[in-house]
Amino acid sequence: MAECDSGYRCRICGVPVDEIIESELYLRYVLCDVQIDQLADTPEAHVWCNGNLAQFIVDPAFDHPIKVDPEHDKSAMDDATRRLVESVVTRAWKRLQWLPESGLDVTRYPLEDVVPPDDPEESLKVSTRLGDSTRLDDAERRS
Ligand SMILES: [Zn+2]
């Protein structure tokens, strides 16, 4: 994303990822799945090209056909876990859409209430628990 002139190509479809709002890498960064020092050398992808992740974005504004590996299909998850992951990933995706206008420094892109994942499941629980009361959510609702 830093190299605007050449752009980073999607590791899945090969087309350049033009904007941060399309970036699966930055979505994972917002989710604390990728750390800031990994952004430069982690392969890019479009959000919708990683269907295993994109299937958890539940928002009418996210309207792309996606492919999901059968063994990662969310329909195989139990309801509580699926809803939990959907809520966190959808919130991260909405934040991603808002980041270009947010004026935030890149170090503040990650969801503030998601703990860097020593234990990803635990960090998801934390973020859901704090979920709707954060300032971030208020900012997102306004946008
Ligand atoms: Zn792609």
92 CA from centroid of ligand 1 (Å): 19
pLDDT at 75: 95
55 CA from centroid of ligand 1 (Å): 15
**What is the average pLDDT across 17-27?**
96
Token pair listed for 87: 């809520």
Q: Mean pLDDT for the chain?
A: 83
> Which range has the worst mean pLDDT, 11-15, 45-49, 118-122?
118-122
Q: DSSP letters of 43-70?
A: PP-BGGG-HHHHTT---TT--------G
Residue 37 pLDDT greater than 50, yes or no: yes
23 CA from centroid of ligand 1 (Å): 9
Q: What is the pTM of this model?
A: 0.76
96 CA from centroid of ligand 1 (Å): 17
135 CA from centroid of ligand 1 (Å): 32
Query: What DSSP state is assigned to residue 31?
Result: T
pLDDT at 78: 94
Per-residue pLDDT band for 115 (boundaries 50, 70, 90) equals low
**pLDDT digits 0-9 by tens, 89-110:** 999 999 999 999 999 999 999 9
